[in-house]
Chains A and B, each alone.
Chain A
Amino acid sequence: DIQMTQSPSSLSASVGDRVTISCRASQGISNSLAWYQQKPGKVPKLLISAASTLESGVPSRFSGSGSGTDFTLTISSLQPDDVATYYCHKYNGAPQTFGQGTKVEIK
């Protein structure tokens, strides 16, 4: 089975900072990679699909890149509303696999 390794597991940054989260697949997955945001006590929200396609209504400060085995979620200017845990997700076929999550906090 394909494993997804996310890093870092947590980060603390200032408002306005550029934040980058990495996700690495143990095998190539083309662009079948999504990113979700989960705020405390809430359900995961789909932010990005196909590695780089921003979902409708998601702020443009979020962006995704990568293909194959290495993927990145970038928040260009961190905002207080972005405090959450972010998960990458390999979604093609079965089994599906999530990364371990990255908790983002404000410094």
Chain B
Amino acid sequence: EVQLFESGGDLVPPGGSLRLSCAASGFTFNNYNMHWVRQAPGKGLEWVSGISGGGSTKNYADSVTGRFTVSRDNSQNTLYLQMNSLRAEDTAFYYCAKRAGSGSNYPLDLWGQGTLVTVSS
């Protein structure tokens, strides 16, 4: 079955760190750019970061640049998001998502169920 499964969400204090994981199955993981999208409770979708299939190209939203780092382990079919210097406004469900095709001009056709990150003292 084609699926994505996120883990690692937790309650952390402001300034803290957290690493999210996304396990992929059912497709050739290294063929696809992968992305993180977040959604604060009751709010809209916000793209956070993306990484190319081989891992050489990484992009970030301005709101997380310098604090978050995306990476992937293609041997383990796993995507990661290292989150440092967390702020209250980072509180959200974090989804990993796959592009619908190889390359950068495809929408996101497969989403995980999300993992909740809560930043609070």
Contacts and interface: CB of A to CB of B under 8 A. Distances in A.
Interface string A80-104: 0000010101011111111111000
A46 B109 contact: yes
Given A43-B112, A43-B113, A43-B114, A98 B45 contact: yes
A73 interface: no
Interface stretch (B22-30, B78-86, B98-106): B98-106
Given A49-B100, A94-B59, A96-B47, A32 B114 contact: no
Q: Could you tell me the dominant secondary structure of chain A's interface residues?
A: loop
A91 B105 contact: yes
Given A44-B45, A89-B108, A94 B50 contact: yes
The bracket for how many chain B residues form the interface is 20 to 34
Nearest to B99: A91
A3 to B, nearest CB: 12
B68 interface: no
Interface of B: 35, 37, 44-47, 50, 59-62, 95, 100, 104-109, 111-114
Interface of A: 1, 32, 34, 36, 38, 43-44, 46, 49, 55, 85, 87, 89, 91-101
Given A91-B106, A98-B46, 19 more contacts: A1-B62, A32-B105, A38-B45, A43-B114, A44-B45, A44-B95, A44-B108, A46-B100, A46-B109, A49-B107, A87-B45, A91-B108, A94-B50, A94-B59, A95-B60, A95-B62, A96-B35, A98-B44, A101-B45
